[in-house]
Amino acid sequence: CGGFSPPPPADTPEFRRWEANRRDSVSGDLHTCCRCIEPKFFLDAPDECEMNKFDDMMALLSHEAPDFRQLIAIDRHFDVFTRVWCVAELVQAHRAQIPQNVCLMSKKALDPDIGDLGIYIKLATLTVADCSASCSEDK
């Protein structure tokens, strides 16, 4: 809505992720920014901010939409589990007893016959302390 978030410090993993997320993964072109004129509210205006209503929205969906389900699309490297907000959404859906279904991009990474235990190790040693977030406040 009008632009991208401020960049993290240059030459950091956070900057590389920020830069990659601004671009189409196929063409490399910058994503088009929203041109609407609606005011935007962020964490500095907590009452109006939409981003801090996450738990309430999950509970509302669970209560008001009995057939609501969460589909977890797992990327090739299982990086979804390294993002703070993604993990928070999974936990909140579980707490709200929202049924969860998993869709793997490829089952190859979990094939023990391939001999690469990298994904198993990554998943077995996951910790929120090592997760990444777009905003430092989210960590």
| Domain range summary for the chain, segments of one domain joined by + | 1-40, 52-132
Pairing status of strand 100-104 against strand 70-74: parallel
For residue 8, the tally of other CB atoms under 10 A from its CB is: 17
Helix (H, G, I), strand (E, B) or coil at 83: strand
Please check whether residue 132 is in contact with residue 17, taking contact to mean a CB–CB distance below 8 angstroms. yes
Averaged over 97-101, what is the pLDDT? Answer: 94
The pTM for the full model equals 0.70
Q: For the chain, how long is the longest CA-to-CA vector?
A: 54
Please check whether residue 84 is in contact with residue 138, taking contact to mean a CB–CB distance below 8 angstroms. yes
Residue 5's pLDDT band (boundaries 50, 70, 90)? confident
Residue 72's pLDDT band (boundaries 50, 70, 90)? very high
pLDDT tens, residue by residue, 17-52? 889 989 998 899 999 988 888 887 777 788 888 777
For residue 93, the tally of other CB atoms under 10 A from its CB is: 19
